[in-house]
Each structure stands twice: as C-alpha cells, then as structure tokens.
Amino acid sequence: MKIVTVIPGDGIGPEVVESALRVLEALGTDLAPDVLDHVNAGTYRREGTALSEADFARIAASSATLLGAVGDPSLEHTDYVRSVLLRLRLGFDLYANYRPVRLWHDRLSPLRDAAHRGIDCAIVRENTEGLYSGVGGAVHPSSPWETAIDADVSTHHGVSRILDFAFSVARHRVCMVDKANAVRSGGSLWQRCWEAAAGRHPGVAASHLYIDAAAMRLVTDPGSFEVIVTNNSYGDILSDLAAALAGGIGLAPSASLNGTTGFGLFEPVHGTAPDIAGTGTANPLGAILSAALLLEHLGYDDEARAVRLAVGGAVAAGRVTPDLGGTLGTADATAAVLAAL
C-alpha cells in the first residue's frame, strides 16, 4: 500500500481534489489517500501557519502528494502562499516542475490559423531557485526611501540538474529560454550550463530563445515546441500562457519532482478561483490529469493512460464544464470521466 498525502487547500481546491480522488478510487489501485484538510487559509488565519512540522513529516513519509490549490484573497499581503506551496517545493527540493500542455481538442484552441493550433509540449520549470527562492528584503521599509531587493539566484548545481531533467523527458528537441542579453549574471551561467548539457545529450536538438521571443513564438507557432526549459519565473509565465493556448488553465496538470529522492507533488496549474468556489462549476480535469501524472510517476502506467483516454473522451464529447464550452458542473464532468474509464 502506498500512501498519497492529499492537500485540498482553498477555493475550488477541495472540489477538484474530490474529483481526482474519485477517479483514483475507481481505478482500484493500492494507493491510500491521507487527507490533510486543515492545510488552508482558515488554519493560517487562526494559527499564523498552515503547514506544521508534523504535517511536513507526514508528507515526507508518504509516496507522493496531491494538492488542489492554495491561496486566499484576504491573505494576499501575507506569506501564506509561500508558507505552504513554496515551503513544499523548497523543503522537499522539488526542483523539476513538469507541466505538459496539450490541445485535447481543436475546438478548444483560441487560435485562428488551423495549421498552427496544435500544441503538445512540456514546460520544464526550475522550481527551487530563481526569483522565487525567497532570498531578499528591503531597506528603509515603509519610507519614501524604501528599496526592495529580490534575488534571482541561479546555481551551477540547480541549473545543470534542471537542464538534464529537460533533456531526459525530451524525445527530439529542447528549447532553453532565458534573458541573457539583459540579465547578465544568471544569463551567463544558464548559457554555459546549457552548452554543457546540450553536449551531454547529443541526440536531442537544442535551441534557444529569449523570453520575450518565446512568449511570441508560443502564440504564433506553438507546435514548434517540444520541451521548453527555463527558470522559475519564466516557467510560471510560459506555462500559464501555453495552457491558455490549449484551451485554458482548467485542463493543465503539473508535477513537482525531486529527481534524487523520487518524491513528487502533483497539482493543477490553476489557482483557487475564489470567484467560482462553491458554485460546483470548477473544471476538475486539471486535478484529474495531475492525478494521472502521479499515477505514472508511481509506476501505474496503464492506469495513467486509462485516465488520459477517459479525459480525452469526455472532452471530445463536450461533456465538460463551461470554461471548456460545456454545460456540466464539476460533479457531472467528473462522472463523464468516470463513465469513460
């Protein structure tokens, strides 16, 4: 029996996690969920912290974690999100954020040119350093002379391992994205690590784009990408952009992996969507596809494939939530996947 810790979180998080758990259950594997439903904004508000050391240990003892979404409008000016999401990513050194993006049905593309709609790529986002490392501070706070600095940190260790990870998941080509022409210190390091990594993987075509050009290229020719590897900040932006080009963030899954320990955190790319939380209309497919990534990661390849086939069937049949042009609520959209399983 393998334990999967589950963090429903806030907003639509609990709703979509419930859908994903129903799918996992229907597969009849030996995975056993251990739900930490107190890790949320309410706990943070009451106790000043939402993820305790005991929670952390419970997660560490499990095989993987499935997370819904974390965040709350009333806590925007606090470190709540960082104290859960970034704490997990940094605490477990989940350096590889893997975000596959695929156009599940032509109908879902926002692009006009039928020949350029196809998108089937993966964003590999460095997940432990860069601008989200948490290194920074301010002098003269709350004065007219306040100067805030957030460090964009890149290490040879961190850059090399994420580049190698990208090559390891690519079949044909990897595109590295940075801004070495303007951001010199990290840019230079990424460029040198990139040349070395490309040399270690001669069978895969290696190309490079600056982040501004990459954002444009995603819109004009998304099909030209297979694996995009980039830093924490650009990966955040490009993965949401790519998701929008594949029909919306409601469908996008992600895995945050530690290549050494094998531990993984699986979560939809979308947030807590406070505007629709509680209305029963959240799209469960991002969470369900994240569960598929989790299954695959733990070796349940056939089950993962079955889930993806079922999702593909439900999408093709239009048995989906309003964000994908359907009329179903969360429960019915989940039932459509379960029926197709």
Catalytic annotation on 98?
A: no
CB 251 to a copy of itself: min, Å: 13
Which residues is 173 bridged to in the sheet? 205
145 binds, among a copy of itself, ligand IPM, none (CB under 5 to 8 A by kind): a copy of itself
Choice between 134 and 280, CB closer to a copy of itself = 134
CA 308 and chain centroid, separation? 17
Q: Which of positions 228-247 make contact with a copy of itself (CB under 8 A)?
A: 233-234, 236-237, 239-241, 243-245
103 binds ligand IPM (CB under 6 A): no
Provide the 10 A C-beta neighbour count for residue 47: 10
Binding mask 277-316 for a copy of itself (x = CB under 8 A): ----------------------------------------
Stretch that binds a copy of itself, among 8-16, 50-58, 148-156, 302-310 (CB under 8 A): 148-156
Residue 279: closest CA among 335, 339, 336, 328: 328
Question: At which residue do the structure tokens 């790319």 appear?
Answer: 269
Catalytic site residue from 10, 55, 93, 236: 236
Catalytic annotation on 236?
A: yes
Which residues is 130 bridged to in the sheet? 153
Under a CB-based contact definition with an 8 Å cutoff, are residues 35 and 302 in contact?
A: no
CB 114 to a copy of itself: min, Å: 9
Which residues is 69 bridged to in the sheet? 9
Residue 256 gets the label, from left (phi > 0), alpha (psi -120 to 50) or beta, of: beta
Catalytic annotation on 240?
A: yes
168 binds, among ligand IPM, a copy of itself, none (CB under 5 to 8 A by kind): none
189 binds, among a copy of itself, ligand IPM, none (CB under 5 to 8 A by kind): a copy of itself
CA atoms within 13 A on the CB side of 252: 28
3-state SS, residue 100 = strand
CB 83 to ligand IPM: min, Å: 11
Separation in Å, CA 106 to CA 38, 112, 270, 288, 312: 40, 11, 21, 21, 12
Choice between 85 and 287, CB closer to ligand IPM = 85
Provide the 10 A C-beta neighbour count for residue 202: 8
212 binds ligand IPM (CB under 6 A): yes
Provide the 10 A C-beta neighbour count for residue 148: 10
CB 67 to a copy of itself: min, Å: 15
3-state SS, residue 229 = strand
Choice between 195 and 212, CB closer to ligand IPM = 212
Stretch that binds a copy of itself, among 11-19, 44-52, 104-112, 275-283 (CB under 8 A): 104-112
- Mention every residue, 6+ apart, whose C-beta is less than 8 A from residue 321: 250, 281, 282, 283, 284, 285, 328, 329, 330, 333
Under a CB-based contact definition with an 8 Å cutoff, are residues 35 and 8 in contact?
A: yes
Tell me how many residues contact a copy of itself (CB under 8 A): 70
Q: Which of positions 34-93 make contact with ligand IPM (CB under 6 A)?
A: 71, 81, 85
CB 125 to ligand IPM: min, Å: 8
CB 85 to ligand IPM: min, Å: 6
181 binds ligand IPM (CB under 6 A): yes
Stretch that binds a copy of itself, among 2-10, 94-102, 136-144, 199-207 (CB under 8 A): 136-144
Distance CA 131, CA 121 (A): 24
* Active-site annotation, residues: 132, 179, 212, 236, 240
Binding site for ligand IPM (CB under 6 A): 71, 81, 85, 181-182, 212, 236, 269
